[in-house]
């Protein structure tokens, strides 16, 4: 990720390492989405004791067992879906995990992702090895610069970091009085994770916009993605996209950047500017985490 143009908070990374990982305990697990062919999404809460993290960081999880080379599995990263524990609150550390299940192209056999299936099969009381936390840059600004507009763009489990960030901004930052636009894309309405939480937020600064690709149509009659919603709302977004303080965060499926770039080009032209006006303007203020 290139340098950001705002002050980032100091965070702790690698408090725990592979040689001496944290033993986190699963204290709650629930299915958020019942996925097709068993690829559900789970909300998993851990007691992580003194693990010090901020929302936006990721937790690397070491699955038990060995890989094909007979070595311990590499840790897999998961975005932390709860607000950092620098502020006292009830939630410990939450992950939002999609169970990876796919058919191997060469053998045609069903393959289950090692770590995601391990996590989605956890039971309360199970112990999980974690390292990290990981990540110094995909963070909200330092408290001194936090009061500014935000555009959060999520697809699928990319919603995870925004759950904690929005909690911090709206519930734990008394001076915060700027707009937040959360765009969330998924295939079906039933895949809108945390909809119950986001749709309940009554703060007039908070705007929650859904793009449901297989159930809604864009202007051209095609599937509705996040970038189509941005273009639809270009008049409303014009002000905050021209504001030098606004930060855009995007998180989720690899490939979503293309559509977002297209939306920024369309909106730039609507503003009477050159195609790359907004893309250039947001250098250092657009943070991406795709996987
Ligand atoms: C910064 C970051 C944050 C992340 N945050 C989250 C998160 O919040 N939630 C979450 O669920 N995941 C997240 N991930 C992804 C996560 O780290 C794992 O990659 C994912 O869970 C799969 O791991 P696994 O061990 O289950 O699968 P593995 O056993 O590692 O298998 C995955 C392998 O299967 C292949 N594969 C996967 N799907 C298919 C397919 N349909 N067809 C063919 N091949 C396929 C992949 O190329 C890969 O080689 C994040 C990744 C990163 C880098």
Q: Is 102 in the pocket of ligand 1 (CB under 6 A)?
A: yes
Domain assignment of residue 94, yes or no = yes
Please report the atom of ligand 1 found closest to the CA of residue 118. 26
Which pLDDT does position 88 carry in this prediction? 81
Distance (angstroms) between ligand 1 centre and the Cα of 77 equals 9
Residue 57 domain boundaries? 22-130
Domain assignment of residue 96, yes or no = yes
Q: What is the pLDDT of residues 204-263, one digit of tens each?
A: 999 999 999 999 999 999 999 999 999 999 999 999 999 999 999 999 999 999 999 999
* End residue of a domain, out of 130, 152, 178: 130
Domains identified in the chain, total number: 2
Q: Where are the alpha helices (DSSP H) in the chain?
A: 114-120, 160-171, 195-198, 226-232, 234-242, 256-270, 277-281
Nearest CA to ligand 1 atom 7: 78
Structure tokens at 68: 């094909």
Q: Is 76 in the pocket of ligand 1 (CB under 6 A)?
A: yes
* End residue of a domain, out of 69, 98, 130: 130
pLDDT band for 35, please (50, 70, 90 cuts): confident
Q: Is 97 in the pocket of ligand 1 (CB under 6 A)?
A: yes
Distance (angstroms) between ligand 1 centre and the Cα of 100 equals 7
Beta bridge partners of 80: 95
pLDDT band for 2, please (50, 70, 90 cuts): low
Probe target for ligand 1 pocket from 29, 42, 78, with the most ligand atoms within 8 Å of CB: 78
* Same domain for 153 and 75: no
Distance of CA 41 to the CA centre of its chain: 14
* Same domain for 263 and 172: yes
* End residue of a domain, out of 130, 153, 177: 130
pLDDT band for 72, please (50, 70, 90 cuts): very high
CB distance 137 to 1 below 8 Å: yes
Bridge-based pairing of strands 76-79 and 93-98 is: unpaired
Distance (angstroms) between ligand 1 centre and the Cα of 6 equals 30
Domain assignment of residue 17, yes or no = no
Q: What is the pLDDT of residues 162-176, one digit of tens each?
A: 999 999 999 999 999
Q: What is the pLDDT of residues 102-147, one digit of tens each?
A: 999 999 999 999 999 999 999 999 999 999 999 999 999 999 999 9
Distance (angstroms) between ligand 1 centre and the Cα of 98 equals 8
CB distance 158 to 253 below 8 Å: yes
Which pLDDT does position 53 carry in this prediction? 97
pLDDT band for 1, please (50, 70, 90 cuts): low
Nearest CA to ligand 1 atom 49: 113
- CA gap 184, 208 in Å, rounded: 8
Domain assignment of residue 16, yes or no = no
Nearest CA to ligand 1 atom 30: 113
Domain assignment of residue 117, yes or no = yes
Please report the atom of ligand 1 found closest to the CA of residue 158. 8
**Going by C-beta distance under 8 Å and a sequence separation of 6 or more, which residues neighbour residue 169?**
140, 146, 150, 176, 180
Domain assignment of residue 87, yes or no = yes
Distance (angstroms) between ligand 1 centre and the Cα of 96 equals 13
Domain assignment of residue 3, yes or no = no
Q: What is the CATH number of the domain that holds 188?
A: 3.40.50.80
């Amino acid at each position: 990720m290139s340098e950001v143009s705002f002050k980032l908070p100091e965070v702790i990374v690698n408090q725990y390492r592979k040689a001496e990982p944290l033993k986190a305990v699963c204290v709650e697990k629930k299915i958020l989405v019942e996925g097709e062919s068993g690829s559900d999404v789970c909300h998993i809460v851990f007691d992580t004791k003194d693990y010090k993290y901020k929302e936006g960081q990721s937790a690397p999880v070491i699955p038990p067992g060995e890989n094909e080379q007979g070595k311990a599995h590499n840790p897999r990263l998961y975005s932390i879906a709860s607000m950092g524990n620098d502020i006292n609150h009830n939630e410990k550390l939450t992950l939002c995990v999609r169970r990876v299940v796919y058919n191997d192209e060469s053998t045609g056999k069903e393959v289950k992702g090692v770590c995601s299936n391990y996590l989605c099969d956890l039971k309360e009381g199970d112990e999980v090895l974690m390292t990290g936390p990981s990540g110094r840059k995909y963070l909200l600004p330092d408290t001194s610069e936090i009061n500014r507009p935000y555009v959060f763009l999520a697809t699928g489990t990319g919603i995870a970091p925004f759950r904690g960030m929005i909690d911090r901004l709206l519930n734990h930052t008394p001076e915060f009085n700027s707009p937040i636009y959360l765009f969330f894309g998924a295939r079906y309405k039933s895949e809108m994770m945390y909809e119950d939480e986001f749709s309940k937020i009554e703060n007039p600064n908070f705007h929650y916009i859904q793009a449901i690709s297989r159930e809604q149509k864009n202007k051209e009659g095609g599937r509705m993605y996040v970038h189509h919603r941005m273009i639809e709302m270009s008049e409303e977004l014009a002000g905050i996209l021209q504001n030098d303080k606004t930060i855009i965060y995007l998180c989720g499926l690899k490939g979503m950047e293309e559509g977002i770039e297209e939306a920024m080009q369309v909106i730039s032209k609507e503003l009477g500017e050159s195609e790359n006006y907004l893309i250039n303007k947001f250098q250092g203020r657009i943070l991406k985490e795709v996987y």
